[in-house]
Structure 1
Amino acid sequence: MNIKRFFGKNSREALSMVRKALGDNAVILSNRAVAGGNEIMAFTEEDMHAIANNEPLMPAARPSNMVQDFDYSLSAHQDEPTTLLSLLSKGSKNTYQPAAAQIEELPKIHFAAETPDTLEIDLHSGLSLSDDLNTPSVFKNQRKVEPETINEAPKPSMQDKPSATHKSATSQQMAFMLSEMRNMRNVIESQLTAISWGNIQQREPVKSEILSTLLTAGFSPALSRYLAENLPDSLDSKKANAWIKYILGKNLSTIENETEVLDQGGVFALIGPTGVGKTTTTAKLAARYVMKHGTQNLGLITTDAYRVGGHEQLRIYGKILGVMVHAVKDEADLKIALNELKNKHTILIDTVGVSQRDRMVTEQISLLSSTKTPIKKLLCLNATSTGETLTDVIHAYKGKGLDGCIITKLDEAATIGNALDVIIREKLKLYYTANGQRVPEDINLANKIELIHLAMNLKSPANRPFQFLTEELPFIMGNTVPSGNTSQLMGA
């Protein structure tokens, strides 16, 4: 088999090179982003037919006690393969049954009675994200391969028993064969998924449109694919968009009002990487509190003693508001400051910015968790960051738990679906959104309806280089990496 590698600046250019070199019937082995562009591994359709017509690699006759040491399985849900015995015994007698014949229909999500002005949705059905996103839809309901019963062969005599060296060589050959079979299974799954999505584009254009809209809005391919696959049938474009917004809204957790924060009081620490706007957001929250409750019962603390003049910015805001700012360096200082401010209704802590890959993250989480006074940790997420970066930040700062998050730099983001996607997946509660530098004007309570509408309707140039073409969607869906970090999508 002659496998060729194609490299382009983007997937569109690489696919064009594949089509030019191998024709329209080329078989794609892999399509992945690499440093500097996109890499595609492919071979011709004739090579695939040649593989299918090859004779079995293993000889027909083998001692049964050698073969029974190895199992194989085409099921990704088992720790060990089922049995290679059935494969060897069947040989060329087995006939291939197309996977499409074994696919069961996805559970339907039915709409209740509709009125001209409202769209009622049945909320009693639930779909598991962790299972569905981890298993390609083409194989999700496939039956397991059952091993056949084979009569035990006569035991070979002592002189026929293979040597230890021969057993070792056979073990290596079988391990290599199992590895090749698993790789081939992954390739076939990817190809069948791409073919399935190509058919969906023709038969159900609304699903294709929804998928394109979600990807353009910044939502991950895994979540976009899940929502598109479970979109109720017979919906026009308008109702499909309404359903998507409804499901996203059901799963985006926000606070209803400021009772949970400024009105209820307590100690709140704003944490996050460098440059996400923690100090400015702390000043905005302090100003909102002063406007509502006055300066008497507000305390401000900063742990930013690492940067030159790091605490001066908050001191300036505190001076304007008439609130004293306490600077702390370590656990002892923090305990002293909290003790001095124990009679304050609300205490806001501005922390030093630390990269999610810095070991100081652990030290900072330990510092905030070392006091007897419970401190609620609010993670600041930069809306301009990619979904992968935001996921990395959340996992690094989770530590002993997060109480919520704040989206910052909303005004600078070209898309915000990436931030909403990660918040939904990680099941974080969204408190506020910050969309500018003005204090205290540019901070608002998180409104899920407005955020989802904004995400789905952000205007973008028609020639955006990061926007996917319609013909590229099957390849994207065929190579989507499943995500198992979400247990259930409510309302879907």
Structure 2
Amino acid sequence: MNVKKFTAATSRDALRKVREALGPDAVILSNRPVDGVVEILALDNDDVAALSVPAVDAPAPRVPQAPAFQAFDDDFDPEPVFSRAAVSQSQAELRQPEFRQAPRAAAPQSAPFGGQPDVARPFVERRAAPEGEIPPTYVNRRAASPETGIDMAAMTQMMSAAIASAKESAALEMGGMMNEIRAMRGLMETQLAELSWNATAQREPYKASVLREMLAAGFSATLARYLIEKMPVAKDAGEALRWIKTVLARNLTTIANEDDLLARGGVFALVGPTGVGKTTTTAKLAARCVMRHGPDKLALITTDAYRIGGHEQLRIYGKILGVMVHSVKDEADLRIALKELKNKHTVLIDTIGMSQRDQMVTEQVAMLSESGADVKRLLCLNATSTGETLNEVVRAYQGTGLAGCIMTKLDEAASIGNVLDVVIRQKLNLHYISNGQRVPEDLHLADRAMLIDRAFRNTRHASAQFGDADLPVMMAAAAHDRLHEVHLG
């Protein structure tokens, strides 16, 4: 029997030492104060179990009515207990559950060979552990418990969700950071552009005068800034303005001869927003075709079945010209009509007018493109609209490409620099200009020199609205816009 002694200042500290050395199942033999400290004698539970197993041929012990030894407990707050003289074998046996469960009043049986009755055998048989069972010792209790199964699918799903959440958070943070960087970059570019323009205006004052003239004519600040930056050194503002007009005329694309359009023939569809003058322009083109080729070579088609009187207006023009007008509702009708009119030299289609922001614009462009014939779309641009509105119209109706454009309502526009700016920047081919309601007199071929001169006419009063302090801000804002290639010559 291996009895160990533990000393400490308090009983709790001494019991903690017992637990650390022998485990929570240790048996306390004594607990007493000695020389100002607490002394505890303890015994390992395995030693007590070994003492409790008697020899096979030993006589059955008598069970005294004595209390069992006190087991170690984490919540045990002991009081001093004086030591006992010895630990008897009977007291140790009382701690064994198997022995306590054995019947105490069992009758003694005779020995098989005339010896003493075999009293210890029932105890030994009960004491034998079943096959595979581990005795409940301190070492076994401290052994690691078997690991529970892990659901790898659930673990993978949790990891994927965590990774996705981290990526989303990182993307949001990165997006915010990039927006801040872009804002800082734009602010720095604006300030640098203002400083650069102020220096340019002080060094070459005629550029500021030309800039006012272009802005007053309706040209965009983006185009004006680009041309002024590329402008060569000039003597005065007059020479600089002449250079600007020459470059603008060179970049304005027009048809040289009407025969390129009327003599070649084909299918032409006039498209554009509501009220831009498509029906009237269609009638003017029809009159020119009839005068050149006769009414039998021309056919008119209208898709305007929604506007009240739209179909009747074109039918009246057709009756005057002696041309049949066909009405279609959808792509199938248009395909059938074009197939029936394939022997005609020229076919003019008057389409439905709709806002450039209407989703049906895309459907209309698709209907004309997939009609089974080579339909050339001519976009009607209102000269009285602003530059930004005209840009939206071109972007909406452009689709896979426009064959050209027609400038309408020139007689109602105070300035035409806005529409010329869009035609130049969008690389459109300007066919005709319309300056009235008369059919067919108020339709003319586009003349580049006349249009540029008309744009800069009577701009002196309008240029006064742009002060010296406004020009640097406008030039700095235009520095962020991108411009298609402009040929300087």
TM range (shorter): 0.5 to 0.7
What SS class does the counterpart of residue 256 from structure 2 fall into?
coil
**Any residues of structure 2 matched to 1:445-460 within 5 Å, and which?**
445-459=445-459
1:338 aligns with 2:338: yes
1:256–1:179 Cα change, 3 Å = closer
Partner of 1:145: none
**Residue 489 of structure 1: aligned partner:** 486
CA shift for structure 1 position 341: 1.8
Stretches of structure 1 lacking an aligned partner (at least 5 in a row):
1-167
Change (3 A) 1:343 1:179: closer
Equivalent AA in structure 1 for residue 304 of structure 2? D
User: How far has the Cα of 1:363 moved from its partner?
Assistant: 1.4
Residues 84-139 of structure 1, C-alpha deviations (whole Å, 9 max, x = no match)? xxxxxxxxxxxxxxxxxxxxxxxxxxxxxxxxxxxxxxxxxxxxxxxxxxxxxxxx
- Superposition RMSD in Å: 2.7
Which of the residues 471, 474, 487 maps onto 1:473?
Answer: 471
- In the aligned structure 1, how far is the partner of 2:460 from the partner of 2:312? 39
Whole-Å separation in 2 of the counterparts to 1:483 and 1:258: 36
Find the aligned partners of 1:169 and 1:271 in 2 and give their Cα distance.
Answer: 47
2: distance between equivalents of 1:270 and 1:174? 47
Counterpart Cα distance in 1 of 2:335 and 2:217: 44
CA distance in 2, matches of 1:434, 1:220: 23
For the pair shown, the structure with the greater C-alpha radius of gyration is 2
* SS across alignment from 1:261: helix
- Say if 1:266 and 1:173 are closer, same or farther in 2 by CA, change over 3 A: closer
Q: For residues 171 and 341 of structure 1, what CA distance do their matches in structure 2 show?
A: 58
Mapping of residues 94-133 of structure 1, within 5 Å: none
The residue aligned with 1:426 is 426
Tell whether the 8 Å contact from 2:212 to 2:463 is kept in structure 1 after alignment: no
Alignment partner of 1:457: what SS?
coil
Given that 2:409 and 2:436 are in contact with CA atoms closer than 8 Å, whether structure 1 keeps it comes out as yes
Q: Deviations over 1:408-442 (max 9, x none)?
A: 11111111111111111111111101111111111
Post-superposition CA distance 1:303-344 (Å, at most 9, x none)? 101122221100111111111111111122212222232221
Query: 2:286, 2:348 within 8 Å by CA — same for their partners in 1?
Result: yes
TM-score (norm 2): 0.62
Which protein has greater RCO, CA pairs closer than 8 Å, 6+ apart?
Answer: 1
Residues 209/334 of structure 1: CA separation in 2 closer, same or farther (3 Å cut): same
Aligned position for 1:242: 242
Specify the code of the residue in structure 2 equivalent to 1:290.
V
Q: Residue 187 of structure 2 aligns with which residue?
A: 187
* DSSP 3-state at the match of 2:295: coil
8 A Cα contact 1:207 1:229, kept in partner = no
When residues 293 and 198 of structure 1 are mapped into structure 2, their CA distance, relative to the original with a 3 A threshold, is same
Q: Which residue of 2 aligns with 1:282?
A: 282
- The 2-side partners of 1:245 and 1:279 are apart by 33
User: Per-residue deviation at 1:174?
Assistant: 9.3
Runs of 4+ in 1 over 6 A off after TM superposition: 168-178
Distance of aligned partners of 1:232 and 1:332 in 2 relative to their CA distance in 1, 3 Å threshold: same
1-structure distance, mates of 2:320, 2:354: 27
Residue identity opposite 2:487 in structure 1: M
Assess, with a 3 A threshold, how the Cα gap between structure 1 residues 428 and 181 changes in structure 2: closer, same or farther. closer
Deviation at 1:368, TM superposition (A): 0.9
Residue 358 of structure 1 deviates from its aligned partner by 1.0
Are the structure 2 counterparts of residues 185 and 440 from structure 1 closer, same or farther at C-alpha, using a change threshold of 3 Å?
same
Where do 1:144-293 residues align within 5 Å? 180=180, 182-293=182-293
Aligned to 2:62: none
Judged with a 3 Å threshold, the aligned counterparts in structure 2 of structure 1 residues 199 and 375 are, in CA distance, closer, same or farther, namely same
Q: Residue 433 of structure 1 contacts residue 446 of structure 1 at CA under 8 Å; is this kept in 2?
A: yes
Read off the aligned partner of 1:265 and give its amino acid letter. G
Once the two structures are superposed, what CA deviation does each residue of 1:266-318 show, in whole Å capped at 9, x if it has no partner?
Answer: 11000011110000000011111222222121111111011222211001111
Residue of structure 1 in register with 2:378 after alignment? 378
1:322 equivalent in structure 2: 322
Q: SS where residue 296 of structure 1 aligns?
A: helix
Aligned-partner Cα distance in 1 for 2:279–2:357? 21
Shift of 1:177: 7.1
User: Which moves more between the two structures, 271-280 or 251-260?
Assistant: 251-260
Question: Match for 1:196: what amino acid?
Answer: S
Taking the aligned partners of 1:343 and 1:402, their CA distance within structure 2 comes to 24
Note if contact 2:301-2:350 (Cα within 8 Å) is conserved in structure 1. yes
1:206 counterpart SS class: helix
SS of aligned partner of 2:296: coil
Paired residues of 2:213 and 2:459 also in contact (CA < 8 A): no
- The separation in 1 between residues aligned to 2:247 and 2:472, in whole angstroms, is 24
Provide Cα deviations, 1:207-232, integer angstroms capped at 9, x if missing partner. Answer: 11111111111111111011111110
Are the equivalent residues in 1 in contact too, given 2:431–2:445 (CA < 8 A)?
Answer: yes
Asked if the contact 1:299/1:323 (under 8 Å) is kept, the reply is: yes
Residue identity over aligned pairs, in percent, reads 59
SS in structure 2 of the partner of residue 406 of structure 1: strand
Residues 174-224 of structure 1: per-residue CA shift (max 9 Å, x gap): 987776555334223212211221222222111111111111111111110
Distance (Å, rounded) in 1 between the aligned partners of 2:284 and 2:175: 61
Equivalent in the alignment of 1:300: 300
SS at match of 1:268: strand
Aligned to 2:151: none
- TM-score by length of structure 1 reads 0.62
SS of equivalent to 2:262: coil
SS of match in other structure, 2:310: coil
1:343-386 Cα offsets, whole Å, 9 max, x none, are 21111111110111111111111111122221100011111111
Decide whether the 8 Å contact of 1:262 with 1:289 is kept in 2.
yes
Provide the aligned length of Structure 1 versus Structure 2: 325
Question: CA separation of 1:472/1:293 partners in 2, compared to 1, >3 Å: closer, same or farther?
Answer: same
Looking at structure 2, the residues matched to 300 and 244 of structure 1 have their Cα atoms a distance apart, in angstroms, of 42
